[in-house]
């Protein structure tokens, strides 16, 4: 087992002082006296051989070195806190931190979370979104949903599904434009995103439409914005059919040509912290089951509108 002479109590006191910016406020949180806090700070500086505060009279200001050290400690204590919640038998709700791409979180994961809560009512899932590829291995999140390449990570992931991209449009616009053949999609306003610049080209090639290229009327910075614009009837876009499955089922979107798809990225669930905890295992089993149930959505996407 791990053994160390590190003064954990003093480290905790130091982090609280820097976080509050006041010894008095830290003493209140820690339920100790002002003098006890000052003593632990001095002991920690002696143990480190490094001053953490610049002193002027009774004023103490953390040094640049001290601020950076406190930030590192805050992250470490956050991991410890989460490990206790994950591995302990607590009567309070356990919290699971999940990070996912914004579009995936909004259109696929969050709508399905009620199913998870039906099974595990004592668990609270905190979802945070990211616009870029996740790469940090020093994060307080427990599970990361990654779109695309995962070889740069040291964690083994669970493949959820592969992205099948197809033309999507609102049913009302599809009826208005009388879209019957792939070439007809060129009659619609074309929506695209900065993050996926080649989606239209790839899908038109898969559809065998080579003689023309759509004029992109609206280009958005993120896909979830383009999806909302498509639902609102602004035009057509190329989107991941499985991710927007709920919108298709509820009639907000339709896929005129479900058999014409361009292969996209892979979605992978990766347990990056507390992999063996019960709460992580439960979530990973659940999301694997849900992803498997959704595998038929692309083939069931209807062209009736």
* DSSP strands (E only) in 16-136: 53-56, 59-62, 94-101, 123-130
How many C-beta atoms surround the C-beta of residue 174 within 10 A? Answer: 23
Residues 222 and 167 in one domain: yes
Residues 173 and 260 in one domain: yes
Question: Based on the structure, what is the number of domains in the chain?
Answer: 3
| Pick from 139, 134, 132, 131: nearest CA to 153 | 134
Rounded CA-CA distance 250/79 in Å is: 40
**pLDDT reported for residue 229:** 93
| Pick from 70, 5, 72, 7: nearest CA to 43 | 7
Q: Is the residue at 303 inside a domain? A: no
Residues 284 and 136 in one domain: yes
Residue 24: pLDDT over 80: yes
Higher pLDDT, 18 or 215: 18
Rounded CA-CA distance 61/71 in Å is: 15
Residues 36 and 181 in one domain: no
Rounded CA-CA distance 107/91 in Å is: 32
**pLDDT reported for residue 113:** 92
Average pLDDT over residues 195-216: 81
Higher pLDDT, 157 or 241: 241
Task: Encode pLDDT of 183-204 as tens digits.
Answer: 888 888 899 988 888 898 899 9
Residue 252: pLDDT over 80: yes
Report residue 290 CA to chain centroid gap. Answer: 18
Which tokens hold the place of 133? 């590829």
Average pLDDT over residues 218-242: 91
pTM reported for the whole predicted model: 0.64
Task: Encode pLDDT of 47-89 as tens digits.
Answer: 988 889 988 777 788 898 889 998 888 888 888 877 776 676 6
**pLDDT reported for residue 300:** 52
**pLDDT reported for residue 276:** 67
Q: Is the residue at 210 inside a domain? A: yes
Mean pLDDT taken over the chain: 83
Higher pLDDT, 76 or 137: 76
Of 53, 70, 87, which residue is a domain's last? 87
Q: Is the residue at 226 inside a domain? A: yes
Give the structural domain span for 129: 94-159+266-296
Q: Is the residue at 49 inside a domain? A: yes
Confidence of residue 283 (pLDDT cuts 50, 70, 90): very high
**pLDDT reported for residue 219:** 86
Residue 109: pLDDT over 90: yes
Of 59, 87, 115, which residue is a domain's last? 87
Q: Is the residue at 2 inside a domain? A: no
Higher pLDDT, 141 or 45: 45
Residues 32 and 171 in one domain: no
Which tokens hold the place of 143? 């599970």
Of 70, 87, 104, which residue is a domain's last? 87
């Amino acid at each position: 087992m791990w053994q160390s002479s590190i003064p954990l109590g003093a480290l905790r006191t130091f982090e609280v002082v820097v976080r509050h910016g006041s010894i008095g406020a830290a003493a209140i949180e820690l339920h100790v006296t002002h003098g006890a806090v000052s003593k632990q700070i001095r002991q920690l500086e002696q143990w480190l051989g490094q001053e953490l505060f610049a002193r002027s009279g009774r004023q103490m200001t953390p040094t640049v070195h001290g601020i950076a050290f406190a930030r590192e400690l805050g992250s470490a204590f956050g991991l410890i806190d989460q490990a206790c919640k994950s591995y302990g038998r607590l009567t309070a709700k356990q919290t699971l931190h999940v990070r996912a791409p914004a579009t995936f979180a909004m259109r696929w994961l969050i709508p399905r979370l009620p199913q998870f809560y039906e099974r595990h009512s004592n668990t609270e899932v905190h979802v945070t979104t990211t616009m870029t590829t996740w790469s940090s291995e020093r994060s307080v999140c427990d599970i990361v949903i990654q779109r695309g390449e995962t070889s740069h990570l040291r964690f083994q992931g669970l493949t959820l599904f592969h992205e099948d991209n197809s033309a999507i449009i609102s049913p009302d616009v599809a009826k208005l434009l009388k879209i019957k053949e792939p070439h007809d999609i060129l009659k619609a306003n074309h929506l695209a995103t900065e993050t996926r610049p080649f989606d239209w080209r790839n899908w038109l090639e898969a559809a065998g439409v080579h003689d023309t290229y759509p004029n992109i009327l609206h280009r958005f910075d993120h896909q979830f914005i383009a999806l909302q614009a498509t639902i609102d009837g602004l035009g057509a876009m190329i989107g991941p059919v499985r991710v927007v499955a709920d919108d298709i089922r509820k009639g907000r979107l339709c896929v005129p040509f479900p058999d014409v798809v361009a292969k996209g990225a892979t979605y992978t669930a990766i347990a990056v912290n507390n992999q063996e905890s019960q709460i992580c295992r439960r979530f990973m089993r659940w999301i694997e089951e849900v992803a498997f149930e959704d595998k038929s959505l692309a083939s069931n996407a209807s062209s009736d509108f």
